[in-house]
Structure 1
Amino acid sequence: MEIVEVKISVIIPVYNVEKYLRECLDSVVNQTFKDIEIICVDDGSTDKSLEILQEYKRKDDRFVILQQRHSGAGAARNYGLKLAEGKYIQFLDSDDYFEPTLLEELYTRAEKFGSDLTVCSSRKVDDEGNITESRNPNSPINLDKTPLGKPFSRQDFKEDIFCLLTPIPWNKLYLKSLILDNGIEFPPINICEDIAFVHACVACAKKIVVCDNELINYRYNRPGSMATYRTHFTIDVVKSCMSLKKFLEQKGLYKELESAFIKAFKNHIRWDVAQCSDNEYKVFLEEFKNLMSDDWELFKPALRKDYITADYLKKFIGDKKVMLWGASFFIQKVLAEETEKNPNILGIIDRNNASWGKICGHYMIYPPESLYDLKPDGVIMTIWSNYEAIYPSLKEEFAQKYPEIELLPNIFEDEVVFS
């Protein structure tokens, strides 16, 4: 297929994904928007991934196939960026897949608003492509705070700019000049390279436009993915955040965004620490102390995982009849430790409609409207990551809709108790 002008460069890092690769590539080939190049960077695959890439290249000359020694997704994306010819850049992970109109919808918005960064939502799917999470109000877009359909920038959200959009690279259409003119790259680490890259783009973008259409299918925690063994490299979340800090300092933006940076740093630590085993957590703490000895006290609240147990939760609740807000990954692990159901926990509230009616530990997951019927004494936030950005708007919501129900800021702040 001959193209006159490359308007979008789609960059796909590929590593040992022969099972999923055809679905991924087909979703790009069949886009309604055709003026694209498809840059696939084989990251040293040992399965048939490279053969599949070459097969697609023979059928469609929009494909560009690059190869490198196994260096990780970040390095692969950097390689693709160096050769990209499009006005815009779109990333895609090789086990995920687009909806057919993704590129057309994002390109149209980018051109209409002149945006540097154009963002859409996504849904989670399992290994077989079944939807497991849809319309999550907190990820990949914080819908409580993020403007939809109109441009904004860091100037509008200096305190929360890094808490509006989950720092994943593949649900965003980037103006290539935003990346190149600011010297933005993925840092050379095993995981969490997205944090430094995406937040740097967000900080430098003069116009960001967001829509909440779910246009990408994210295959979450598939067997063999980096996500399944990322806890081996938890310290990389710190390295990525420090890389971001260095970038902001070089751009003269750190003082302006210091509060937003610290808030985001804590959130990212919480998310990765929540997934660690006890031994992995201990290793991470030692590595963190070595890297961040001068700032240990500042980030200590975000590192407090070891004391949260099922027994702690039971003692914390006491005789109150409560519900938990948020079926977070971490609270799922805590509830799994319970030997019996706590009669004082009436259930779990979650905004993710795909989880309603499911069981977490011993408890049913309900939509927020169930608070009217269940009438708990209080609700405890059990959202481990990003709760500083979520709590203020949730507090306002409770004041308006559920004034008789007490909302606690978070189980993870040990100075907080029921009134």
Structure 2
Amino acid sequence: MPKISIIVPVYNSAPFLERYLDSIINQTFQDFELILIEDGSDDKSPQICKHYQQKDRRIQLFYEQHSGQSVARNLGLTKSQGKYICFIDSDDYVTSDYLERLYEVIAQEKVDLVSCQMRGESYLKSLTPKESGKLTYFQTNDDLMAAYLQESPFSFGPVTKLYHRALLEGIYFSEHKIYEDYYFNYQYFSKISSAVAIDFVGYFYIQNQESTVRKSFDLRQLDNITEQHKVIKEVKEKYPEYLPIAAYNLAWGYYWIIIKCLALLKENKAKSKEYLKLIRNYLIDDQEILQRALALKTKREKWTIKMVKSCPNIIWWAYNIRFYFK
């Protein structure tokens, strides 16, 4: 049985895939299995995955028919054999000692989760990257939940983390959704009582225009809101003192999808207006919970939500003339 199972959904990642796979195969820590789920790519990703599988018997390759990364990750979880689980995206890459650093801490400190930091590629160009290797300890469930909901130092995504497979029992990604990782991690953090965050940049993401966060607005972007509703429902019951933080995340989620919707004005004005009205209905339904949120940080964020809720025509006009959207 391998120590670590690395789960990787693959979809149209050919330009980045070889660099990613090389960064895994050349890890200083070698006791792992690499589970690739090829999700119906129409580029050369399937051939690249097959080529690497033939070179390294630690690589397992499974196929889906473009079912989405949540389905792919869930399949990876069911196929995994390792004591620990690690998720990495196929268009990103990691440092050669990424697994070693995470494993060393989770094994020695006997905690439920270990995480490190993530940066964009531009970080590598900085003359003096700043990282101390310092370990920050979290030793109660309440402290962990506060840190997670504040996204500091733990991100909402599943990457940069090493999980205990046994503690993931019964936890899966919401299938056929996007932004599904927020609730996935919430479930895990609600179960654990210890974690360590390492001041170490081991994970690098690529500015891929095909990624979920960079795609233009469509109705699936509303998953951002519905997945947050799941978290808020449970926070109300289990962590009521942290409800203002969860509500703040919801408010910022609304701001994010409104900006994406407004950007659609150039391509399809009628659709953008239709979607904005739909977002307004969601906002009105969530009015009570949003009133309990910590204040958004900028005037632009606050006024964007206020204008959509009260008078969408004003925000269309403001966006068209670039008034305040600078």
If the TM-score is normalised by the length of the shorter chain, which range does it land in?
0.7 to 0.9
Q: 1:34 to 1:231 in 2, by over 3 A?
A: same
1:166 maps to a residue whose letter is: S
Contact residue 169 and residue 198 of structure 1 kept, 8 A? yes
2:212 paired residue number:
226
- Determine the C-alpha separation between the residues in 1 that align with 2:139 and 2:77: 25
Matched, 1:172 2:165: no
Matched, 1:116 2:112: yes
- Determine the C-alpha separation between the residues in 2 that align with 1:86 and 1:29: 17
- Unpaired stretches in structure 1, ≥5 consecutive residues: 138-146, 310-333, 340-360, 362-419
Q: CA deviation at 1:200?
A: 2.3
Contact residue 258 and residue 276 of structure 2 kept, 8 A? no
Q: 1:157 to 1:29 in 2, by over 3 A?
A: closer
Matched, 1:40 2:71: no
Matched, 1:21 2:17: yes
Q: Determine which of 54, 58, 69 is the counterpart of 2:54.
A: 58
Matched, 1:155 2:149: no
2:221 maps to a residue whose letter is: T
Q: Determine which of 241, 245, 270 is the counterpart of 2:255.
A: 270
Q: Determine which of 237, 240, 243 is the counterpart of 1:258.
A: 243
Q: 1:194 to 1:282 in 2, by over 3 A?
A: farther
2:75 maps to a residue whose letter is: Y
2:194 paired residue number:
207
Aligned residues: 296
2:290 maps to a residue whose letter is: F
Q: 1:157 to 1:20 in 2, by over 3 A?
A: closer
- Determine the C-alpha separation between the residues in 1 that align with 2:6 and 2:247: 32
Q: Percent sequence identity over matched residues?
A: 29
Contact residue 289 and residue 296 of structure 1 kept, 8 A? no
Secondary structure at 2:5's aligned position in 1?
A: strand
TM-score between the two structures when normalised by the length of structure 1: 0.62
1:65-105 residue CA offsets vs partner (Å, 9 max, x unmatched): 01111121111111100111001110010000010001110
Larger Rg: 1
Matched, 1:99 2:78: no
Q: 1:107 to 1:224 in 2, by over 3 A?
A: same
Q: 1:28 to 1:158 in 2, by over 3 A?
A: closer
1:263 maps to a residue whose letter is: Y
- Determine the C-alpha separation between the residues in 1 that align with 2:272 and 2:243: 27
1:145-186 residue CA offsets vs partner (Å, 9 max, x unmatched): xx9432334322665541122201111111112211xx2211
- Unpaired stretches in structure 2, ≥5 consecutive residues: 266-270, 308-318
Q: 1:212 to 1:231 in 2, by over 3 A?
A: farther
- Determine the C-alpha separation between the residues in 1 that align with 2:69 and 2:136: 31
Q: 1:230 to 1:187 in 2, by over 3 A?
A: farther
- Determine the C-alpha separation between the residues in 2 that align with 1:131 and 1:194: 29
- Determine the C-alpha separation between the residues in 2 that align with 1:112 and 1:30: 23
- Determine the C-alpha separation between the residues in 2 that align with 1:245 and 1:299: 11
Contact residue 138 and residue 144 of structure 2 kept, 8 A? no
- Determine the C-alpha separation between the residues in 2 that align with 1:262 and 1:120: 26
Q: CA deviation at 1:26?
A: 0.7
Secondary structure at 1:224's aligned position in 2?
A: coil
Q: CA deviation at 1:253?
A: 2.4
1:18-76 residue CA offsets vs partner (Å, 9 max, x unmatched): 11100011111111111100000011111111111111111100001011111211111
Contact residue 193 and residue 240 of structure 1 kept, 8 A? yes
Higher helix share: 2
Secondary structure at 1:45's aligned position in 2?
A: coil
Q: 1:150 to 1:78 in 2, by over 3 A?
A: same
2:13 maps to a residue whose letter is: V
Q: Determine which of 82, 85, 98 is the counterpart of 1:86.
A: 82
Secondary structure at 2:21's aligned position in 1?
A: helix
Secondary structure at 1:104's aligned position in 2?
A: helix
TM-score between the two structures when normalised by the length of structure 2: 0.78
Q: 1:262 to 1:227 in 2, by over 3 A?
A: closer
- Determine the C-alpha separation between the residues in 2 that align with 1:269 and 1:152: 32
1:242 paired residue number:
229
- Determine the C-alpha separation between the residues in 1 that align with 2:227 and 2:143: 25
Q: CA deviation at 1:192?
A: 1.0
1:354 paired residue number:
none
